[in-house]
Each structure stands twice: as structure tokens, then as C-alpha cells.
Structure 1
């Protein structure tokens, strides 16, 4: 079983998602997308697999989004993808691919919807929010 995470180790949400994957006993393929960004075809494939608009993958905070005027509604999907490839920091994260689907995992608990194996133990996010209880079950929201 292959699980892949497009990861930014500086991002708390990405770190929490990675740990939720590991909490199933799986060591995922980790792609630090700021160092090794996806190809155009892979990025297009990920967006299609997530079934989201291209704009929903754009990250605004801590990026050149405003300076590049990416809120311009006349920009095409192809142009927005060009900007994401030129500035990988614009790609929101983490993106996780599993046999059950591909998802932008914000918040990190969204990864639970596509993990094929159960959680093995309790898990609390870095901010102190408990996500998985002592029985390995998702805590109700």
C-alpha cells in the first residue's frame, strides 16, 4: 500500500497529517514539494483527483499571492498552475494520496477519511487538540 504526502516540514498542519499517517503503522512516501515540486502533469493530476477548483489549491498566507495579483478572476486555471509551478509555496498543503483517494488535508484530520488502515493509538495535534482517543477512534467534533 502506497501513501504519499506532499509535505512542508515547517507547517504544523502538514506535520500533524504526517503523524496521523504514521499512527496507522504506515511510513509514507514524503515529498517535500518546496524542494521537489510536482511536474505540471502531476499537479494537474492531483487537482483532478481531489476534484477541486484550481483556485482552491492556492495558498495565500505567507506567499506572493497578493503581489502576483492572483485574485484576478480573469486568470485561467493554466495560468494559476504556471504560478504554482514557478512558486511552489503557492501550493496549499499537505496533499495526501492513498488507495482510497487524494485530499488536501486542511485541517489535518481530513486525512482520516482516506487512510485505509485504522489509527493505532491516541493522537493529539501540536496545538493540544485531541484527534484520536485512547481506543484509536476519532474524537467527535
Structure 2
């Protein structure tokens, strides 16, 4: 099974989710999205596979993400903002053949193993 974690190594929750995967014997492909950035296709796929939509992928603790939500931004505006500012997307996100989840709390990543 292919396992990908969209990871921010500075985030404790993201580090914990990665450690949990490894404890389960899984060595995921680690995508440090703050370095690689996002593309439209990946964000749209994750929004669909997690079932939360693009607005649901936003990290509400980020002021710019909160402003987008407060303004009722549409998907195109959310995509443009997330591509310009990768930090706006919640972390970690784990994607496997079974689906994708936002790993908050980290134990949620077990749902797609």
C-alpha cells in the first residue's frame, strides 16, 4: 500500500502522526509541503478524498485562512490562496489507497491504513 504524509516537521502533531505510522511498520513517502508547495490537482484530490472540501482543508489557526472563511471565499479563491501560501493547509494529511484524512488527532491516520 502506498502511504503519503503531507508533513510539516515543525509541527508536533505532524511529527507524532509520522511516528505513529512508523510504529505501525509503515514508511510513508514524506512530502514537506512548505518546501514543495501545493498544486491545484493535489489540493482538489485531497479535498475530495478527505470528504471535507477545500474549505475544510484550511488551517483555521492561520489568520489568512480564517479571513478566507469569514469572507465566504469560493473554491477558486481558496485554491489560489493555498498555492500562494502553503501554510494555510491543515497538517498533517495522510493519503493511502483507502482514502485520506487530516491527522488531528494523530490517531486518525490509522483510519486509512
Question: Which TM-score applies when normalising by structure 2?
Answer: 0.91
Based on CA coordinates, which of the two structures has the bigger radius of gyration?
Answer: 1
> Contact 1:54/1:77 (CA < 8 Å) preserved in 2?
yes
Q: After the TM superposition, list the runs of 4 or more consecutive aligned residues in structure 1 that deviate by more than 6 angstroms.
A: none
> Residue 112 of structure 1: which of 92, 110, 113 is its match?
110
Count of residue correspondences: 112
Asked whether 1:82 is paired with 2:80, we answer yes
Query: For 2:14, what is the secondary structure of its paired residue?
Result: helix
CA RMSD of aligned residues (A): 1.3
- What secondary structure does 1:10 align onto? coil
- 1:64 aligned counterpart, secondary structure: helix
User: Shift of residue 52 of structure 1?
Assistant: 1.0
Q: Report 1:3-82 matches (<5 A).
A: 3-66=3-66, 69-70=67-68, 71-73=70-72, 75-82=73-80
Determine the structure 2 residue equivalent to 1:91: 89
Higher relative contact order (CA 8 A, sep 6+): 2
User: TM-score of the superposition, structure 1-length normalised?
Assistant: 0.74
Instruction: Give the unaligned 5+ runs of structure 2.
Output: none
